[in-house]
Amino acid sequence: MTDTITTKFTRADFQTDQEVRWCPGCGDYTILAAVQGFMADLGLPKEQIVFVSGIGCSSRFPYYMNTYGVHSIHGRAPAIASGIAVARPDLSVWVVTGDGDGLSIGGNHLIHALRRNMNLKILLFNNQIYGLTKGQYSPTSEKGKRTKSSPAGSPDVPFNPISLALGAEASFVARTIDMDRKHTVDILEKAYEHKGTAFIEIYQNCNVFNDKAFIELTGKETRLENRINLEHGQPVIFGPEGEQAVIMVDGTAKIVPSDSVPAEDILVHDAHDPNPSTAFALSRLSHGPYGPTPVGIFRSAIRSTYEQDVSQQLVDAQEKKGPGDLAQLLRSMGTWKVE
């Protein structure tokens, strides 16, 4: 990936001639506008950007981005994007997936991309439902969710995507909301600047099959009391008047009235802490968009990328090269003598 700023673009430069085919009112429209605007401000040549998707409503994304793109197969977008990132480290590689595509059939590919820390940026649109296939419950649907595939209520305990990413050793983990375009762009900027895999969960409203799933975080009457904005270096307080705070008790994050504890006991968010334990504790404050829920960057830690480590292996191998001839060995008709 290159950080070179070369040309001034507008959002229109990243729009294609394809008709955007999502349901009217879908949160995907807002996310698309945010990403297109962000890419324009980034100033990278469009030929240096690749979007890879799997299957689902969100996976239409590459058709609407005037960059290189791959609409791949169900759940395998992280694997395909990993190959691109390793083969072409000069490119900015983005994965667009959904809670069904990325956390069900694609769960294995997702966690390994995160642990390897390749230079990928993964956007997981979480609407807590299967939208493209008309409303079945997904891996993030709440327990008891009544859908066409669970008329008696889902018996499954849902994934917490942020906890999952942190458990997979992701070096950058964040959450934003489709309706908050400014916040989304800020998270995209931080993810782009991060060296390694960046995972962003985006709460995305499906107004047809799961409307107002995130109303507690977006509604005018509820968002101030429920949205916990994580800012590096700042105390974790929230509420209309900052009347609620987060403290740590024996490794567990707890919400208390701000005036019930000394100011020094209130957790100060450290997104750069190499130990993900506190970030994980914050992710457990809510197991979904219900009640007080953190948004922002949970973790942004520095560690070597997969590409860096592989490149170093090649350098080390070259420096330690012995008298053998690898090319001759490979052409030796399959009979090798190892001593």
Is 295 inside any structural domain? no
**Mean pLDDT to the nearest integer, 221-234:** 96
> Domain holding 45: CATH number?
3.40.50.970
Is 324 inside any structural domain? no
**pLDDT single digits (tens) 99-119:** 999 999 999 999 999 999 999
Number of domains in the chain: 1
Residue 66: which domain range? 1-213
Task: Please name the residue that has the structure tokens 């107002």.
Answer: 212
Q: Which of 15-19, 133-137, 203-207, 236-240 has the lowest mean pLDDT?
A: 133-137
Smallest CA-to-CA distance from 45 within 14, 87, 79, 15 is with 14
Task: Please name the residue that has the structure tokens 């694609």.
Answer: 106
Is 247 inside any structural domain? no
Residues with Cβ within 8 Å of 214's Cβ and at least 6 positions away in sequence, in order, are: 177, 203, 205, 289
Is 11 inside any structural domain? yes
* pLDDT at residue 313 greater than cutoff 90: no
**pLDDT single digits (tens) 68-103:** 999 999 999 999 999 999 999 999 999 999 999 999
Mean pLDDT of the chain: 93
Q: Is 112 exposed, middle or buried (0-12, 13-18, 19+ CB in 10 A)?
A: middle
* pLDDT at residue 1 greater than cutoff 50: no
Is 312 inside any structural domain? no
Residue 252, token pair as written in the block: 């567990």
Q: E strands, 146-302, where?
A: 172-177, 198-203, 227-230, 237-238, 244-249, 252-257, 293-300
**pLDDT single digits (tens) 288-297:** 999 999 999 9
Q: Tell me the pLDDT band of 3, cut-offs 50, 70 and 90.
A: low
Is 265 inside any structural domain? no
Is 226 inside any structural domain? no
**Mean pLDDT to the nearest integer, 314-323:** 76
**pLDDT single digits (tens) 142-173:** 999 999 899 999 999 999 999 999 999 999 99
Q: Tell me the pLDDT band of 330, cut-offs 50, 70 and 90.
A: confident
Is 328 inside any structural domain? no
Smallest CA-to-CA distance from 136 within 147, 121, 145, 122 is with 147
Q: Tell me, what amino acid is at 76?
A: R
**Mean pLDDT to the nearest integer, 251-260:** 97
Helix (H) or strand (E) holding 51: strand 49-53
Q: pLDDT > 70: what percent of the chain?
A: 95
